[in-house]
Amino acid sequence: GAVVSQHPSWVICKSGTSVKIECRSLDFQATTMFWYRQFPKQSLMLMATSNEGSKATYEQGVEKDKFLINHASLTLSTLTVTSAHPEDSSFYICSAPGGSYGYTFGSGTRLTVV
Amino acid sequence: AQKVTQAQTEISVVEKEDVTLDCVYETRDTTYYLFWYKQPPSGELVFLIRRNSFDEQNEISGRYSWNFQKSTSSFNFTITASQVVDSAVYFCALSEATWGFNKFYFGSGTKLNVKP
């Protein structure tokens, strides 16, 4: 079945540094990738939608200059958290249309900024 | 606007009890999908079911069953004879089914604790 490989699974970084999260579709082409964020004990909220070859669309309230999204190929989308701060600590998960259930989620990345 | 409400924040049951997780949704679309996902402590989302808005048949899969009622905009999930391994956070979600690919609207989740 369809698989979206997300890396890293977890990352700890220092405040002020940047972190890149990758989501790769392994056996299908993902022209679209959805990026969600989940704060502790809260629900998943859509941050942005990336489309291969075009600019990402950000949800209201999400800083596009802070959360850089690149969808350079049909199988890879990346989210870079720039100048990370402790309040960016969260669980980030991507999702691509495809697979038996309509959408396939990555396994998520737990980001801790210290 | 789309909205999913899971009013139960946390539920605790003893093993072998039956438990129902409630989900109520709002949408103006006539065509949409409803989902249930399980999120264990590790964080990944485990797909449980997808139902489209035209299929109101209830479904049973082993100990899991789902009751979809458009009249009340509800899509409830029942676990029969719960087990400790069922302990997790469960999310109900709604997705539009218009042209193109659509985002999910997640409920706030229900944390299920199954005690031995």
DSSP annotation string for A15-48: TT--EEEEEEESSS--SEEEEEEE-TTS-EEEEE
| A42 chain-B contacts, CB cut-off 8 A | 108-109
Mutation pick from B103, B110, B111, B113 vs chain A, by most beta carbons of A within 10 Å, is B103
Contact A78, A21 (CB under 8 A): yes
How far, in whole angstroms, is CA A44 from its chain's centroid? 12
| A95 chain-B contacts, CB cut-off 8 A | 104
pLDDT band at A93 (very low <50, low <70, confident <90, very high): very high
Mutation pick from A35, A58, A101 vs chain B, by most beta carbons of B within 10 Å, is A101
Instruction: Please tell me which of the candidates B45, B50, B101 has its beta carbon nearest to residue A105.
Output: B45
Instruction: Please tell me which of the candidates B35, B43, B106 has its beta carbon nearest to residue A91.
Output: B43
pLDDT for res B81: 97
Which pLDDT tens digit goes with each residue over B20-64? 999 999 998 888 999 999 999 989 999 999 998 988 888 899 999
What whole-number percentage of chain A has pLDDT above 70? 100
| B40 chain-A contacts, CB cut-off 8 A | none
Nearest to B15 by CA among B88, B75, B85: B85
Q: Do B108 and A43 touch (CB under 8 A)?
A: yes
What whole-number percentage of chain A has pLDDT above 90? 80
As a whole number, mean pLDDT of residues A9-30 equals: 95
CA distances from B26 to A28, B5, B53, B104, B105 (A): 32, 8, 12, 13, 10
What whole-number percentage of chain B has pLDDT above 70? 97
Sign of CA dihedral B25, B6, B113, A87: positive
